[in-house]
Amino acid sequence: MRSLRLAVLISGRGSNLQALIDACAKPDFPAQIVAVIANKPDAGGLARAADAGIPAMIVDSSFFKGDKAGFERALGDTIAQFDVDLICLAGFMRILSADFLNRFKDKVINIHPSLLPKHKGLDTHARAIEAGDKVAGCSVHIVTPEMDEGDIILQKTVPVLAGDTPQSLAERVLEQEHAAYPEAVLQIATNHVILRDARVIIANSKEDPMSQHPTPNTPHHDHEAVGHANNMWNTFVKISTYAGGATILVLVLLALFVA
Ligand code: GRF
């Protein structure tokens, strides 16, 4: 099986990057990290990439000041050198524009520390506790220009315990993040999950139960492809029927002619 080529984009400590590095180090894991790019020179994850022998680069967003398009062009050009199949945002603290996402269409995913669509944005754990949520968790989702809005690929949950602080809840969720991100990459690498036109498609519903997926932003089974196959079959049946009818007509005419 082909090994999926990943670029991982980070802004900070890079513990999710580490989870992906560890998963990719397993002999059967069908993905490899070909580049790590940070938008901050002091991102701790850069050292993790270097330790793993992965090319690590900085495209410093502060250098571009307000020039978002310029930053994204530089970031995109850097990624483009590595012929990547998938771009994993892992604590990457920038919102990417439609232009950037169109350049890497259906290739950008993110991990977010809440059960989306609940608690988009920052301070998710404090907000989960304040809201009295009994369950918290993380979501791996497609990146769209609207923050934390894209279709969900996979979620993992943890209980919110009495006496939880944002910190204690964050630690429990982070453990699940470290399992969720490699699992999502595996699903994509094995084509159990397909990203198409900014939607998540579950390619094989028998092996990949919908129960993993929440109701909002749910993935879509490939009804379009099924419909297309049905149309082709109906056309084939019609053509065969007409062809059969025409053949019989010709034979009858020939028989009459000969008689
Ligand atoms: C994680 O909680 C991730 O869900 C969020 O930012 C944090 C990054 O942590 N988007 P790390 O840099 O991967 O340790």
- What are the pLDDT digits (tens) for 41-99? 999 999 999 999 999 999 999 999 999 999 999 999 999 999 999 999 999 999 999 99
* Helix (DSSP H) and strand (DSSP E) numbers for the chain: 7, 9
- CA-to-CA distance for 235 and 241, rounded, in angstroms? 10
Check residue 250 and give its pLDDT: 56
Cβ atoms of 21 and 48 closer than 8 Å: yes
Residue 68 to residue 97: CA distance in whole angstroms:
9
pLDDT at 44: 98
Other residues' Cβ atoms within 10 Å of the Cβ of residue 216: 11
- How far does the centroid of ligand 1 lie from the alpha carbon of residue 16, in Å? 6
Nearest CA to ligand 1 atom 9: 91
DSSP 238-258: HHHHHHHHHHHHHHHHHHHHH
| Rounded distance from Cα 1 to ligand 1 centre (Å) | 30
pLDDT at 35: 98
Contacts of 111 (CB under 8 A, 6+ apart): 16, 88, 89, 90, 138, 139, 140, 177, 180, 181, 184
Pocket of ligand 1 (CB under 6 A): 10, 12-16, 90-91, 111-113, 138, 174, 177
Q: Best mutation site among 8, 13, 16, 118 for ligand 1, i.e. most ligand atoms within 8 A of its Cβ?
A: 16
Q: Which atom number of ligand 1 is nearest to the Cα of residue 11?
A: 12
Ligand 1: nearest atom to the Cα of 92: 10
Angle between helices 166-189 and 15-24 (to 10 degrees): 30
In a mutational test of the pocket of ligand 1, which residue from 37, 177, 178, 181 has the highest number of ligand atoms less than 8 Å from its CB?
177
Cα separation, 62 vs 64, in Å, equals 5
Distance between CA 117 and CA 115 in Å, rounded? 6
Q: Which tokens go with 237?
A: 């049946």
Distance from residue 153's CA to the centre of ligand 1 (Å): 17
List the single range of 5-19, 137-151, 240-254 with lowest mean pLDDT.
240-254
Check pLDDT > 50 for residue 175: yes
- At CA 196, angle to CA 190 and CA 199, rounded to 5? 105
Ligand 1 centroid–CA 111 distance in Å is 7
